[in-house]
Structure 1
Amino acid sequence: MKNKKYAILSLGLVFLIICIGTSLGSSNINILETASILFNKILKIPLKDGVDTKNISIIWHLRLPRVLLAFIVGGCLATSGAVVQSVLKNQLASPYTLGVSSGTSLGAGLVIITGISIPVIGSFTLPIVGFLFGLATVYSVIAFSSKIDRTMSNNTIILSGIVFSLFVNALLTTLTALFSEDLKSISLWQMGSFAMKGWSYVRLILPFLLVGMIGILRYTKEMDILTLGDEQAKSIGIDVETIKKKLFIYSTVLIGGAISLSGTIGFVDLIAPHLVRKIFGSRHKYVIPMSFVFGGCLMVTTDLIARTIISPSELPVGAVTAIIGAPFFAYVYFKKAR
């Protein structure tokens, strides 16, 4: 009952965060006016008197798609983090451990260096190719782990992910050294940003969101059982290796789509699931959806800081999340050590 109340309050928090995120910027707009515009556009409720038509355009065409994209990306990162931490039974584990970040960065780097553009998808060539490279890297990690260790133990998966990440990062470093004129573009992409990304990007991430979330939510009970240990799960009749593979693939769909559209943004996948478990406990029917909510709110907040703290210039979102996340990571690590 307590968790249900917290979940309802969290939905109110989502709307408040979205209103604040769309209200504040280089030209601040009253939050009540922002709420009126959103209700008008979404629910067709008449606008309150005195709403400036210029503000309608700013809210609907510029800020709202950016805020929604940030929310979905943050939610995807946090949900993926919750899955990986549960499967590997390690609060400090991250989807980046599986190599998805390095794979996506390599794909994006190749597109930036070669300048290729696939005719059908045009400007979305970079995110699509980045996602495919990230997915291929994670699939390679899983295939390699299952070959050398049929039980796919957590240590084997983590070590395999680290090896593949180092190898792919070395390939990217070699490319940037050979094509140093593109170094700035690759570095800016890796820092992460939601600037100048409109409704088309929101629509593009929705298939990744739906496939990943629906796939993961089907296995919340199995994740509860996996936390007891692989041996206990097998004794109950759970196909541990198959479930792990499916969960890793679905979480890669989420994080691969998120990274390919926003760049590399760290620590959200660590912070949000940890906070959710503190509030809602360890049952995954709450951990998964609430990680999405908390991750989305955290990402909108950090993006707001990134674009307002030195306005009219912007900081990379990845830098802001790292400034917040690094001390948090240290706190979790040393608390666990004690």
Structure 2
Amino acid sequence: MKNKREGFGVLHYIIMAAVSFAVFILCVCVGSVTIPAGDTLTAIINTIFGLPIPEGISGPIILFVRLPRVLNVALVGASLSLCGGAMQGLLRNPLADGSTLGVSSGASLGAVLAIALGLTIPGFTGGGIMLMAILFAFGSLMLMLSLAHKLDYSLSTNTIILIGTVFSMFAHSLISLIIAFSGEKVKTITFWTMGSLANTGYINVIVLLAALILFGALILRYCRELNAFAVGEDNARHVGVNVKKVKLVVLVAVSVLIGVCVSIGGTIGFVGLIVPHMTRMVAGPNHKRLLPACMFSGAVFLMLADLISRTILSPIELPIGVVTSFVGSVVFVYIFYKSKKVN
């Protein structure tokens, strides 16, 4: 297994890209109305090159309903998985991800508050929710780091995780309080907190892609430092890593990326927790290989989860967060059981 991991390279990324594309086409084709793959590819290619779509092809369904949704799902899955892999490496804890550190909870609190108050940005659908989610995710991170710094000047991993867990409980209690007083918006908030990427459009694709390019690239820039963290913070200092700076930069990038994802898709659990575990079994612990691989596997995982959510009880659509939580919890128990059995 070790040799296979060390040999993980360009060919494996090509295979993962091919699998991601195949799953992408499958998710665009399948739904309440099944569309042949050839028609789907024809509609997409003709639109890209400005050619007319042949009659008989369900162009509007492909281009304005399924394509933007599946693109958003893939980008959210890639972003959450990348964030989870980076946080697990940074904090050397397999339970670290946006939900356990309170960043997702902070983003959710901001988004729920925006929905309850009806905050909007003129000309930008969902802009108020997105802005509040990013601000609260970043503010939550700053609050947790400040408290951790007061309690433990070295910003140890255990201190950060403990404060993040406590803050998550606090944020969820505030969300419950807001729901209790939100009146007719209870249904919207409740469905949103379970996670859903229905009715997302191309503007969301642009925002997610821009966030992933900017902050994802920032996270990937610190792959070497994350490898040093894997051996321990003291070792990282000895090899010249500025531990506090790397922690701050990576956590800030993660918080903004998670804030954007939460503002668009709601609370989608277990992606950043489970996918890096599964990917690490194939790609190995080297973050230069692991983090890019996490993006492919995260996109595939969430696209399949979204496909299940909208087809398993068709015409009823399940929130995607319900599917990821169910699958993720089962996979997590299995991984935990296998790891204990090996040990």
Same topology, TM > 0.5: yes
Code of the residue aligned with 2:234 in structure 1: it is: E
**Aligned counterparts, 1:160-239, within 5 A:** 160-239=163-242
Distance 1:233 1:108 in 2: 37
Which 10-residue stretch deviates more, 164-173 or 63-72?
164-173
**Aligned counterparts, 1:122-137, within 5 A:** 122-137=125-140
Code of the residue aligned with 1:278 in structure 2: it is: M
Deviations 1:266-309 (A, max 9, x none): 11112221121111111111111110111011111110111111
Unaligned runs of 5+ in 2: 1-6
Code of the residue aligned with 2:27 in structure 1: it is: G
Which 10-residue stretch deviates more, 206-215 or 225-234?
206-215
CA offset at residue 57 of structure 1? 2.0
Distance 2:296 2:55 in 1: 31
Match of 1:141 among 134, 138, 144: 144
The answer for the alignment partner of 1:257 in structure 2 is 260
Code of the residue aligned with 1:170 in structure 2: it is: S
Distance 2:314 2:333 in 1: 30
The answer for the alignment partner of 1:25 in structure 2 is 31
The answer for the alignment partner of 2:4 in structure 1 is none
How many residue pairs get matched? 335
Contact 1:81 1:269 in 2 (8 A): yes
Matched, 1:315 2:324: no
Distance 1:216 1:119 in 2: 32
Unaligned runs of 5+ in 1: none
SS of corresponding position for 1:92: coil
CA RMSD of aligned residues (A): 1.9
Deviations 1:137-162 (A, max 9, x none): 12211222122212111100100101
Contact 1:92 1:333 in 2 (8 A): no
TM-score by length of 1: 0.93
The answer for the alignment partner of 1:41 in structure 2 is 47
Distance 1:182 1:196 in 2: 17
Match of 2:58 among 44, 52, 55: 55
Which 10-residue stretch deviates more, 316-325 or 204-213?
204-213
Code of the residue aligned with 2:181 in structure 1: it is: L
Matched, 1:10 2:16: yes
Contact 2:39 2:57 in 1 (8 A): no
Contact 1:211 1:253 in 2 (8 A): no
Code of the residue aligned with 1:81 in structure 2: it is: G
Deviations 1:24-64 (A, max 9, x none): 1111111122123223333x3978xx944551222111111
Distance 1:321 1:118 in 2: 31
The answer for the alignment partner of 1:325 in structure 2 is 328
SS of corresponding position for 2:231: coil
Code of the residue aligned with 1:141 in structure 2: it is: M
SS of corresponding position for 2:138: helix
Contact 1:61 1:198 in 2 (8 A): yes
Contact 1:103 1:137 in 2 (8 A): yes
Code of the residue aligned with 1:30 in structure 2: it is: P
The answer for the alignment partner of 1:98 in structure 2 is 101
SS of corresponding position for 2:315: coil
Code of the residue aligned with 1:91 in structure 2: it is: P
Matched, 1:108 2:111: yes
SS of corresponding position for 1:95: coil
Which 10-residue stretch deviates more, 120-129 or 302-311?
120-129
Code of the residue aligned with 1:6 in structure 2: it is: H
Code of the residue aligned with 1:255 in structure 2: it is: I
SS of corresponding position for 2:108: helix
CA offset at residue 90 of structure 1? 1.8
Relative distance call for 1:2 and 1:107 in structure 2 (3 A) is closer
Identity fraction in percent: 36
Code of the residue aligned with 1:3 in structure 2: it is: G
